[in-house]
């Protein structure tokens, strides 16, 4: 019974924590643009939260820099189970143009497990909406 | 009273980008502030040395996702200085036009973020909705909303058509009207006045001493703008005023940016109406002879400088980039001293750290390999239908 | 004034600077020996309104390092150029004269290993705290310990 309620609320309203692990800002701005009146991801129940302890989904942008690597791990550990990670943008997926830079790990999945990838440099808000809907569908079918 | 040191960041709800402030407070008042940057240091300056000039144009765009066009302009300009080529006038005008578009989008973005930080989210929603209009123009002309790949050494890569020019003029009309509304809001709305007046004061002497740049400098009543004082691209031919404010605080920055928006709208109109005819680019050699050049531009956030040294090959010897936020972060740490804890987000956001009509959403269904264009209303219906098919309802 | 600055600087910095030159895009380059850097910066600041230091660039040119101080003096950008020998890459801090130089001088030390003398606050700025002694990445002979290769 309780499980059903929890699952219902998670599908209805996934809480997302956004974390910039070294991105150039392009992706971060597009995430916020997706929440603004034109695209309005909140119509699918997405709420951007400030703290990872309240979040179901960690939305990571950027190749992981040396300085942010430990921080990313800490944030991931703070999230309650079950947790989902989305690598957002080309750099988050693979490291893209920064592959091989001396201070770059290259891709979120080098550091923490990733559940979904949204490619693009930066992905358009449409792609974000698409990703959100796909993730919600996966939530629902994950039983 | 006992002193407490509070770490703020790098992951913090009020800061969209990672930076860490160590703030020492006595009660509510900040007595000392220290900033640690470098969380996004990726080592790009090393990367530039390993890539060709053509590749570097696209890498410089990715220095910052908001002022991407300024950085690529700067890099192309520096390369042109060394090569000794001058882009055709039409190319220069188009490059300048894009730079001004970027200023509009960045200032509207700032206005929204500042509204958000002062607890006035309505302003955030308004200005970001208006910002979509300029992103539509970007998408129309260059093909992408954020990273444009429009600049190239020797000019720009795409011309604009008459229809696009008409659309630009139409959007400028709407933006002028909206900007005037924002100026009214900014000058009269009590939420804004109470929250920004007297907050984050940086005196003229301090602004000069700490080498502030951009709107932060002009809000401290220093009349300095690279577009005017060291004209590049087509700025020497354009009529515009450098806006300053003598209130020295966050409200002054708001006024400077809002009035700059109006100037920019007028500049864009002037450029479209006086667009020269002819080519948009000249062909340049792949290898660049040995030399050095300094290029400066006025990014939306302030002065941006690139130093380029070439060595005769197709890769640069060294490219040094100084983005405006690096220059401004010093005065933030200074301004925070003596402020309230609650004002931290506003003061930090004040320098703008590097953080509609078309009515459509493109849905790509990879499983079915179909694509369709949705209007805003259809998107609304789609979201309602999405909820209705929920089994848990 | 615009044409005058180069002439004025040439006569004023005579005996201090090794050379004063202007390029096609009206950038002025002044080469100074390491010992007279502070003097030249002081003259620029007090007599030519050069309070704004835009940035500091450092280059690795093999046998020595080249440090460029870009200072806005009046309407022009004046660049002070200093050569440092590779076996003793140290230079006096400009921060007491131009407080805006503080972050850029920390950067010099971080990425190229230039020792800045009399700097008030020399800590890491760009590289992570966990960097340790992996060297100075922007030097041309730097080798990435992860890949055992030079380069990006």
Render pLDDT for B159-169 as a digit per residue (tens, 0 to 9).
Answer: 999 999 999 99
pLDDT in tens, B246-294: 999 999 999 999 999 999 999 999 999 999 999 999 999 999 999 999 9
Q: Determine whether the interchain pair B309/C137 forms a contact, defined as Cβ–Cβ distance below 8 Å.
A: no
**Residue bearing the bigger pLDDT, B362 or B182:** B182
CA distances A76 to A25, A59, B120, B304, B351, Å, are 21, 11, 31, 36, 30
The domain spans of chain B are 48-320
User: Which CATH number covers residue A91?
Assistant: 3.40.50.12280
| Per-residue pLDDT at B310 exceeds 90 | yes
Q: How many beta-carbon pairs below 8 A join chains B and C?
A: 81
- Tell me how close the Cα of C72 comes to any Cα of chain A, in angstroms: 28
**Residue bearing the bigger pLDDT, B369 or B259:** B259
B48-320, superfamily in CATH? Cytochrome-c3 Hydrogenase, chain B (1.10.645.10)
Q: Which of B1-5, B241-245, C21-25, C48-52 has the lowest mean pLDDT?
A: B1-5
On whether residue A29 sits in a domain, the answer given is yes
**Residue bearing the bigger pLDDT, B54 or A41:** B54
Please state which CATH class domain C2-131 belongs to.
alpha beta
How many structural domains is chain A composed of? 1
Task: Domain of residue A27: give its range.
Answer: 15-138
Banded pLDDT at B379 (limits 50, 70, 90) = low
| Per-residue pLDDT at B71 exceeds 60 | yes
Distance in angstroms (rounded) separating the CA atoms of residues A50 and A48? 7
Token pair for residue A126? 């449409």
Burial of A84: CB neighbours in 10 Å, binned 0-12, 13-18, 19+: buried
Token pair for residue B241? 């005023």
Q: Which of A31-45, B370-384, C86-100, C135-149 has the lowest mean pLDDT?
A: B370-384
Residues in chain B: 393
Burial string for B86-123 (b: 16+ CB within 10 Å, else e) reads ebbbbbbbbbbbbbbbbbbbbbbbbbbbbbbbbebeeb
Q: What are phi and psi of C87, to 5 degrees?
A: -80, -10
Q: Measured in Å, how far apart are chain B's first and last C-alpha atoms? A: 55
| pLDDT (average), residues B212-217 | 92
ipTM for the predicted complex? 0.92
* Residues of chain B contacting A66 with CB distance shorter than 8 Å: 41
Give yes or no for a contact between A15 and A42, defined as CB atoms under 8 angstroms apart.
Answer: no
pTM: 0.90
Banded pLDDT at C97 (limits 50, 70, 90) = very high
- SS3 sequence, chain B? CCEEEEEECCCECCECCCCEEEEEEECCEEEEEEEECCCCCCCHHHHHHHCCHHHHHHHHHCCCCCCHHHHHHHHHHHHHHHHCCCCCHHHHHHHHHHHHHHHHHHHHHHHHHHHHHCCCHHHHHHHHHHHHHHHHHHHHHHCCCCCCCCEECCEECCCCCHHHHHHHHHHHHHHHHHHHHHHHHHHHCHHHHHHHCCCCCCCHHHHHHCCCCHHHHHHCCCCCCHHHHCCCCCHHHCCCCCCCCCCCCHHHHHHHHHHHHHHHHHHHHHHHHCCCCCCCECCCCCCCCCEEEEEEEEECCEEEEEEEEECCCCCEEEEEEECHHHHHHHHHHHHHCCCEHHHHHHHHHHCCCCCCCCCEEEEEECCCCEEEEEEHHHHHHHHHHHHHCCCCC
On whether residue A6 sits in a domain, the answer given is no
Task: Supply the Cα-derived Rg of chain C in whole angstroms.
Answer: 17
Q: Chain C interface, mutation test: which of A95, A98, A99, A102, most C Cβ atoms within 10 Å?
A: A102
Reading across the β-sheet that carries B291-299, which strands appear in turn?
A: B291-299, B302-310, B316-322
Supply the pLDDT for residue C1: 46
Most confident of A79-83, B355-359, C2-6: A79-83
> How many whole angstroms from its chain centre is CA C65?
10
Q: Determine whether the interchain pair A29/B386 forms a contact, defined as Cβ–Cβ distance below 8 Å.
A: no
pLDDT in tens, A55-88: 888 989 888 888 888 889 988 999 988 888 999 9
* Residues of chain A contacting C144 with CB distance shorter than 8 Å: 102
Q: Does C149 touch chain B (CB under 8 A)?
A: no
The domain spans of chain C are 2-131
């Amino acid at each position: 019974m309780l499980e059903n309620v929890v699952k219902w609320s998670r599908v209805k309203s996934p809480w997302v924590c956004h974390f910039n692990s070294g991105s150039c800002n392009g992706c971060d701005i597009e995430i916020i643009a997706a929440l603004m009146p034109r695209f309005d991801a909140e119509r699918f129940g997405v709420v951007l939260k400030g703290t990872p302890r309240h979040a179901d989904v960690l939305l990571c942008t950027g190749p992981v820099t040396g300085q942010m690597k430990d921080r990313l791990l800490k944030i991931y550990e703070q999230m309650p189970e079950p947790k989902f990670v989305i690598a957002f943008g080309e750099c988050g997926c693979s490291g893209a143009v920064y592959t091989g830079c001396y201070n770059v790990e290259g891709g979120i999945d080098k550091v923490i497990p990733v559940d979904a990838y949204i490619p693009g440099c930066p992905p358009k808000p449409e792609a974000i909406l698409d990703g959100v809907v796909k993730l919600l569908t996966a939530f629902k079918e994950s039983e | 009273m006992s002193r407490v040191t509070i770490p703020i960041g790098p992951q913090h709800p009020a800061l969209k980008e990672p930076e860490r402030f160590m703030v020492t407070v006595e009660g509510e008042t900040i007595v000392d502030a220290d900033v640690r940057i470098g969380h996004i240091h990726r080592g790009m300056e090393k990367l530039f040395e390993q890539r060709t000039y053509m590749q570097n144009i696209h890498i410089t765009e990715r220095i910052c996702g908001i002022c991407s066009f300024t950085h690529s302009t700067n890099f192309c300009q520096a390369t042109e200085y060394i090569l000794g080529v001058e882009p055709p006038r039409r190319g220069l005008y188009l490059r300048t036009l894009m730079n001004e578009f970027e200023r509009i989008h960045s200032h509207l973005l700032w206005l929204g973020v500042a509204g958000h930080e002062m607890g006035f989210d309505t302003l955030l929603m308004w200005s970001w909705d208006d910002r979509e209009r300029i992103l539509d123009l970007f998408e129309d002309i260059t093909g992408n909303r954020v990273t444009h790949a429009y600049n190239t050494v020797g000019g720009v890569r795409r011309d604009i058509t008459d229809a696009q020019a008409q659309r630009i003029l139409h959007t400028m009309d709407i933006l002028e009207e909206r900007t005037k509304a924002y100026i009214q809001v900014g000058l009269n709305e009590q939420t804004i006045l109470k929250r920004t007046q007297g907050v984050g004061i940086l005196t003229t002497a301090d602004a000069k001493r700490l080498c502030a740049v951009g709107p932060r400098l002009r809000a401290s009543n220093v009349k300095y703008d690279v577009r005017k004082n060291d004209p590049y691209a087509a700025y020497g031919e354009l009529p515009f005023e450098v806006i300053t404010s003598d209130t020295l605080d966050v409200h002054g920055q708001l006024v400077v940016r809002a009035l700059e928006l109006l100037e920019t709208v007028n500049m864009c109109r002037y450029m479209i109406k006086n667009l020269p005819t002819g080519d948009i680019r000249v062909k340049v050699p792949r290898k660049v002879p040995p030399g050095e050049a300094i290029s400066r531009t006025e990014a939306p956030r302030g002065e941006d400088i690139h130093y380029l040294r070439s060595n005769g090959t197709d890769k640069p010897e060294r490219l040094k980039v100084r983005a405006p936020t690096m220059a401004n972060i010093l005065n933030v740490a200074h301004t925070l001293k003596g402020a309230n804890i609650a004002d931290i987000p506003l003061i930090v956001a004040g320098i703008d750290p590097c953080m509609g009509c078309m009515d459509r959403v493109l849905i790509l269904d990879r499983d079915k390999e179909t694509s369709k264009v949705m209007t805003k209303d259809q998107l609304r219906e789609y979201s309602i239908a999405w909820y209705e098919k929920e089994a848990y309802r | 004034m615009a044409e005058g600055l180069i002439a004025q600087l040439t006569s004023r910095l005579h005996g201090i600077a090794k050379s004063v030159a202007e390029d096609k895009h009206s950038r002025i380059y002044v080469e100074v020996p390491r010992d007279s850097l502070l003097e030249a910066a002081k003259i620029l600041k007090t007599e030519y309104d050069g309070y704004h230091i835009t940035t500091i660039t450092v280059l690795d040119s093999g046998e020595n390092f080249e440090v460029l101080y870009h200072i806005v003096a009046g309407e022009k950008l004046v660049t002070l150029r200093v050569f440092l020998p590779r076996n003793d890459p140290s230079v006096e801090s400009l921060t007491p004269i131009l407080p805006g130089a503080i972050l850029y001088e920390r950067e010099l030390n971080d990425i190229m290993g230039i020792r800045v003398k009399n700097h008030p606050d020399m800590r890491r700025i760009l590289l992570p705290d966990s960097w340790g002694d992996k060297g100075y990445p922007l030097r041309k002979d730097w080798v990435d310990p992860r890949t055992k290769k030079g380069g990006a």
